[in-house]
Amino acid sequence: MSNGLDYGSMMHRAMRGLIKEVLEQVADSGLPGEHHFFITFDTGHPDVQLAQWLHDRYPEDMTVVVQHWFDDLRVLEDGFHITLNFGDAPEPMYIPYDAIITFVDPSVEFGLRFETHDIEDEDEDDTEIEDTQSEKQGDADVVSLDQFRK
């Protein structure tokens, strides 16, 4: 976007800042109440760090659950480190905020979705904020919380 305000990029920064703030609170105090997160991220992002077997199994994207067992949550400026349990095997990983595709907290029906368009579309990202308790109808893509429910 030239000669104008790039609201899409500003919104992305704000929403990624919100994710960072949430994770900082969890790193300091743990998950409160029934809160838990489903975080889908682009495993092909150049700064993502995860075990090769996980990358081989999830070559495009991966959804992790931050709920009952996680360790070593370290929140940094551009991403976060976390160790998650995969079949009784703790696996450390680093997820940059700009690799996140969706961030959902089903306990309060809150979700964020980051979409990327091809250069021909708009050469910028769109961010959707979804509060399913006040869901709007229209052309927007909605993060369905049903896919994350047990």
Q: Assess contact for 20 and 75: CB atoms under 8 A.
A: yes
Burial of 60: CB neighbours in 10 Å, binned 0-12, 13-18, 19+: exposed
Confidence of residue 124 (pLDDT cuts 50, 70, 90): very low
Q: Give just the sign of the alpha carbon dihedral 143, 22, 26, 95.
A: positive
Summarised one tens digit per residue, pLDDT across range 10-53 is: 898 899 999 999 999 999 998 888 899 999 999 999 999 999 99
| 132, pLDDT greater than 60 | no
Q: Work out the widest C-alpha separation in the chain, in whole angstroms.
A: 53
CATH topology of domain 7-135: SH3 type barrels. (2.30.30)
Q: Domain residues of the chain, as ranges?
A: 7-135
